[in-house]
Amino acid sequence: MNDNHTSVDQTEPAVVAKSGGIETRQITIDGQLLQVAVRHGSGQGPPLLLFNGIGANWELARPFLEALTRTTTVIFDVPGVGGSPRPVLPYRPSTLARLAAELVKELGYAEVDTAGVSWGGGIAQQFAHQYPKLCRRLVLAATAPGFTMVPASPSVLWKMATPRRYTDKTYMNRIAADIYGGAFREDPLLIGRHAAAMHGARSLGYVYQLLAMAGWTSLPWLWSLPQPTLVLMGSDDPLVPPINGHILAGLIPNAELRMIDDGHLFLVTQPAETATLIEAFLADESREVEPLSLLSRTVSYVRNLVPTSAGGRRQS
């Protein structure tokens, strides 16, 4: 992968497998093989492009995908994770955003809604900023504005520093409650089911994901995001403290913040409830999200005074 123009390699036929209503295939874009999963919904709205958390293969999001009833959802393993081979060189969020945009076009979609979970929330913010005409609405779950976030405690960050929890199930069972909080503190069975779905987090791929976010922040341009945005945060999230959700909702002009009584992985522990919230937000065409705070109302006013560039994004 590189930062040059991304072209789609169509020399390899896509092999489609189906399991539980979810189609999986491998698609090569700009020389990078991607493991892609698509679950088709019954609705007519744009599909939801979902960016997963660090080290997470797409199967970890299966409970949430299956809980969506109307929304077609597209998710892919980032290079170096799950079924997507590691790239030759590290990458930046802008590179992944461009890769995702080309994937969306390859799948035949002219517009998508975009969601990101934890690490993937940063990529979702970058995608919405980089491709405002392609991204209609934005959902940010358990995430933050990059390295400028209010961090977790050092003990939690240390446990997250390596992908060991993805390869050592005993270690995962020991630390899950400390890093994920919420329902994982009460139900050991949740930890076991989550650990069973983990596979393919390779050490160098995990390092590449860490490097991708090194020095990255969305703070300078959050004010310019035009998409109506839903920010979801767990009230008991040791990994991404809830204050980060207030920061996002306070700086994105058309943002709504909803707190969920759970921990970091509420998409996994409360998939039906979370899917209902998200689908209601995506489907309500008549609703314009009201800016949450005085700060976001101010930046919304300023953004409306700034001319729009030819590409559809206001100049910062």
| The pair of three-digit structure tokens given for residue 227, joined into one six-digit string | 């998409």
Q: Is 230:93 a contact under the CB 8 Å cutoff? A: no
Q: How far apart are CA 99 and CA 96, in angstroms?
A: 5
Q: How far apart are CA 176 and CA 156, in angstroms?
A: 10
| 316 CA to centre of own chain | 24
Residue with structure tokens 């169509």? Answer: 10
Tell me which residue of 293, 213, 308 sits closest to 251, measured CA to CA. 293
Helix residue spans in the chain (DSSP H): 62-67, 93-106, 119-130, 154-160, 164-167, 169-180, 188-196, 203-212, 243-251, 266-269, 271-283, 294-305
Q: How far apart are CA 249 and CA 253, in angstroms?
A: 8
Compute the chain's Rg from CA coordinates.
Answer: 18
**Burial of 269: CB neighbours in 10 Å, binned 0-12, 13-18, 19+:** buried
Handedness of CA 263, 269, 275, 280 (dihedral sign): negative
Tell me which residue of 291, 270, 290, 220 sits closest to 63, measured CA to CA. 270
Q: Is 301:293 a contact under the CB 8 Å cutoff? A: no
Is 84 considered catalytic here? no
Other residues' Cβ atoms within 10 Å of the Cβ of residue 33: 17
From the candidates 118, 218, 224, 296, which is the catalytic residue? 118
For the annotated catalytic residues, the residue numbers are 118
